[in-house]
Structure 1
Amino acid sequence: MFSKGIFVVTLFILYKITLNNANKEIQKYIDRKFKLHQGYPLDSLLNFTELTAKYGYPSEEHTVVTEDGYILTIFRIIRGKKCQGPIRSPPVLLMHGLLMSSDAWLDSGPESGLAYLLSDACYDLWAGNTRGNYYGKRHRTLNPETDIDFWQFTVNEIGSFDMPAVIDYILNYTSSENINYIGYSQGASTYFIMCSERKGYCDKVQVLIGLGPDSRNTYTKSIFSRLVAKAYQDLYPTLTEVGFYEALPLGGIVQQTIAFFCRDFVIADTFCRALLSMFDSPHPGSAETQTIRVLVGHFPAGTSVKNMVWYSQSLNVDDFQHFDYGTRANMELYGSLKPPAFNLSATTTPTVVISGKNDFLVVPADQEWLTSHLPNVLEHYIVEDSLWNHLDIAYSKLTGKDILPKILEYLSKYSYETDVGF
């Protein structure tokens, strides 16, 4: 009788879970249909695997668990639609920037999106995600909706835990001895942090290609970005007190509002284009209007308020350093009044830096400072287009012309063909 009761309860629980998941899928279907009726572009409503499938690029979804319990979703494009030869090894990992997700590599479409272009060049392409964004809001024990501890992270934890976990997963899954790494902005700074904090991980990467790589942000020109970051720093105690730990999530009021207005072609081509220029710098004709309509469906993708505060701090110091908790807490945690700097000399990986002259977020002066502190820079390539800015890396229609050749040049030097099929 007791066993029968347990069996019935188990069936009921499984039924409720199935029903709940089914209800979520039904709600997702209804929401999508409603938004399509309102004029949202379909691509802005699709996730990574849906987008790649739509354009004929089969992809896989993989789950990575970090040492401290964060559950990350990463993706792999099995074979590019235009890839006619053998797949090249080792695997290539693409890491997104602040407030972005892996979707950023697809938003400009198959002709310009870097994930598409690299898989078309027959690379085993992986697109990572970090804790706190749309694809990284799960944990073994913590609930992001109710547990403040989930959101107690900055780039330090992303570099110390997320990057090693993703790299180890790819190596184990593919049985490869190493990978090649392409880091965009924060995706590069967290690599530097990994090398500084986790001994031996640089040895698992053959070449690092930094696209507008972020480190110190002393000379950032973007006034709007400075104001947003400062607002988070000034409001940090209040936000924490009232229970706001997540910054600019996908599905939040900021993202939903921008996506609503920018769904309109004319508004996207005027107001929304101007808004992007306020964050970075103007580059007329670089991003297609359709790309703007799509990217606002995936951006901002979220991070922690604490991470935004770290970025605000980085605007006011002349170094690339840990989170500043104040002199008393710094003494307790670091043993010094000021937070220690990350050890950039630990990034011994052969490194290529690609940057733009018109980048208002990671400006040329800070790029030069970074390259002077890295011990193994193969080349610092400055894009010839004098208007090339930070957001162009993910969203420009000129990607194939302005940065892809340089990326492929170095990937080719550190890759080889394999007969293994996918």
Structure 2
Amino acid sequence: MKRVFSLAVLFMVPLIFAPQNQCNACSSYLGYFNIFFSSDCYHNPDIDDDILGIIQRHVGVHETHEVRTDDGYFLTLFRIPRQNPKGVILFQHPLVTDARIWISQYNESIAFLFWRAGYDVWLGNIRGNYFCKKHVSLDSTEAAFWNFSFHEIGYYDNHASVEYVKQQTNGSKIVYVGYSLGGTSGMVYASTRDREAADSIKMMVVMTPTTHTGWSCTGLLKYLLCISYNLQGIVSFADPLFVLNRQDAWYIKSVQFLLTHFSCKKCILYVLYLFCGFSEDAFEPDLINMFIRVHASELPFKIFYHYYQIYAADGIFQRYDYGEERNLLLYGDKEPPPYPLENIKVPVYVVHGANDNLDCPNANEKLYSKLPKNSTLHGKLTVEGFNHIDFSCGRYRNEKVYLKILQLLDKINLEDQNILYLQKT
């Protein structure tokens, strides 16, 4: 036991007291075992910087905007502006992260790729995350502040963000790109505010949107959600308004520190694979410490429970189930109604990974089959070998996903120009 303790101390001391300008990223997983001396390792300033510092370093121009939702939350939007852009694009992030996910791939970041391709880029944030702790009357320490699921994010947050971006860009129709939770809330917005979305959204790209995930999906998360959901009323952490990931909590900071300095990064990946699906050597080693850093935003269990209810209903994309009595008051029925996907009037491009077991391919095929025919005119994209997290940190994310989205957008822009030309002549 003493020998184990001594080895642990010898391992941790140089990490704790190492100079801040020392290596924090490696181009190989093996390099992390000897990070301060390996030729595969280097210092990347992005890992220790904030979002505006990262954008400034790689692009040199940025803006910060604040928008208020109809139910009183204040959201922070980041903009990478472009003069005479090809179009306007709004990115909406996945669970337990924030707008930083789009600029967390260093110089090859997704947001920078679209900006360099000529787009006016906006990075959205949802209520409660690191950048959105303000409300007109509630404090983020109050349970009432956290009384929301992805329904409120779609209905209120996306509505406020889209309308604000549209106003700031002189009425431009927006390309909406939503990843995981961002895709779920995008489908809520497009189906419940269908007329507004048709006026404001040029195309909606939903990547692994987790709208119809059923029991056939094999990810570990559904079992943990099942246990937690059935513990409601017994233990405090199972309360729907219990907040996961208090970012300033000592245990979150401790876990982030330990994971950042943990040498066997492959072990972290194998744990992620249990939840998100296997993807052999696709996750870029350079990005793993940044991945750890940006995945710590708060959110209530109510969002997870809403997802679990979709699991429990075997893939029915429906509103939150409050129980028969309250459902009758809210919905006029004992059962929560499905979201009216048949009302969607905007083009939807569904993207999913063939190896994703959190939001498995058959769930996305189900979503695609329920969309109106006029919304699927651009087809869909299945990415071979991709799991749920490869869309942010996969080695081939740009090649297999984002460059193809850019090609599709160029095709749509060309078609629009041809239509305008024919109308003028």
Check conservation: 1:220, 1:315, Cα contact below 8 A. no
TM-score by length of 1: 0.82
* Aligned with residue 79 of structure 2, among 76, 93, 106: 76
Residue 266 of structure 2 is matched in structure 1 by 270
Residue 338 of structure 2 is matched in structure 1 by 341
Count of residues in correspondence between the two structures: 376
- In the TM superposition, residue 34 of structure 1 has moved relative to its aligned partner by 9.7
SS of the residue aligned with 2:263? Answer: helix
- In the TM superposition, residue 202 of structure 1 has moved relative to its aligned partner by 1.8
Check conservation: 2:204, 2:346, Cα contact below 8 A. yes
Q: Aligned letter for 2:166?
A: L
Check conservation: 1:265, 1:293, Cα contact below 8 A. no
SS of the residue aligned with 2:94? Answer: coil
- In the TM superposition, residue 59 of structure 1 has moved relative to its aligned partner by 1.7
Matches within 5 A, 1:12-91: 36=20, 42-79=45-82, 87-91=84-88
SS of the residue aligned with 1:315? Answer: helix
* Aligned with residue 393 of structure 2, among 392, 395, 416: 395
Q: Distance in 1 between matches of 2:301 and 2:348?
A: 31
What residue ranges of structure 1 are gaps of 5+ in the alignment? 1-32, 80-85
* Aligned with residue 325 of structure 1, among 313, 322, 326: 322
TM-score by length of 2: 0.82
Residue 128 of structure 1 is matched in structure 2 by 124
- In structure 2, the CA distance between the partners of 1:217 and 1:241, relative to structure 1 (3 Å rule), is closer
Matches within 5 A, 1:22-421: 36=20, 42-79=45-82, 87-111=84-108, 113-145=109-141, 147-203=142-198, 204-219=200-215, 221-237=217-233, 238-239=235-236, 245-252=242-249, 255-264=252-261, 266-267=263-264, 269-318=265-314, 319-375=316-372, 376-377=375-376, 378-383=378-383, 386-415=384-413
What fraction of aligned residue pairs are identical, expressed as a percent? 26
What residue ranges of structure 2 are gaps of 5+ in the alignment? 1-16, 25-43, 418-425
Check conservation: 1:39, 1:263, Cα contact below 8 A. no
Q: Distance in 2 between matches of 1:239 and 1:360?
A: 29
Q: Aligned letter for 2:326?
A: A
Q: Aligned letter for 2:294?
A: H
- In structure 2, the CA distance between the partners of 1:72 and 1:275, relative to structure 1 (3 Å rule), is same
Check conservation: 2:278, 2:356, Cα contact below 8 A. no
Check conservation: 1:354, 1:382, Cα contact below 8 A. yes
SS of the residue aligned with 1:206? Answer: strand
- In the TM superposition, residue 270 of structure 1 has moved relative to its aligned partner by 2.1
- In structure 2, the CA distance between the partners of 1:219 and 1:201, relative to structure 1 (3 Å rule), is farther
Q: Aligned letter for 1:161?
A: Y
SS of the residue aligned with 2:106? Answer: coil
Residue 35 of structure 2 is matched in structure 1 by none
SS of the residue aligned with 1:263? Answer: helix
Q: Distance in 2 between matches of 1:178 and 1:100?
A: 26
SS of the residue aligned with 1:217? Answer: coil
- In structure 2, the CA distance between the partners of 1:75 and 1:288, relative to structure 1 (3 Å rule), is same
Residue 27 of structure 1 is matched in structure 2 by none
Check conservation: 2:86, 2:118, Cα contact below 8 A. no
- In structure 2, the CA distance between the partners of 1:182 and 1:254, relative to structure 1 (3 Å rule), is farther
Q: Deviations over 1:87-123 (max 9, x none)?
A: 4243101111122211111222222x21111111111
Check conservation: 1:263, 1:293, Cα contact below 8 A. yes
Check conservation: 1:229, 1:312, Cα contact below 8 A. yes
- In structure 2, the CA distance between the partners of 1:242 and 1:158, relative to structure 1 (3 Å rule), is closer
SS of the residue aligned with 1:266? Answer: coil
Q: Aligned letter for 2:391?
A: I
- In structure 2, the CA distance between the partners of 1:300 and 1:311, relative to structure 1 (3 Å rule), is farther
- In structure 2, the CA distance between the partners of 1:34 and 1:196, relative to structure 1 (3 Å rule), is farther
Residue 17 of structure 1 is matched in structure 2 by none
Cα RMSD for the two superposed structures: 2.7
- In structure 2, the CA distance between the partners of 1:243 and 1:167, relative to structure 1 (3 Å rule), is closer
- In structure 2, the CA distance between the partners of 1:75 and 1:301, relative to structure 1 (3 Å rule), is same
Check conservation: 1:212, 1:362, Cα contact below 8 A. yes
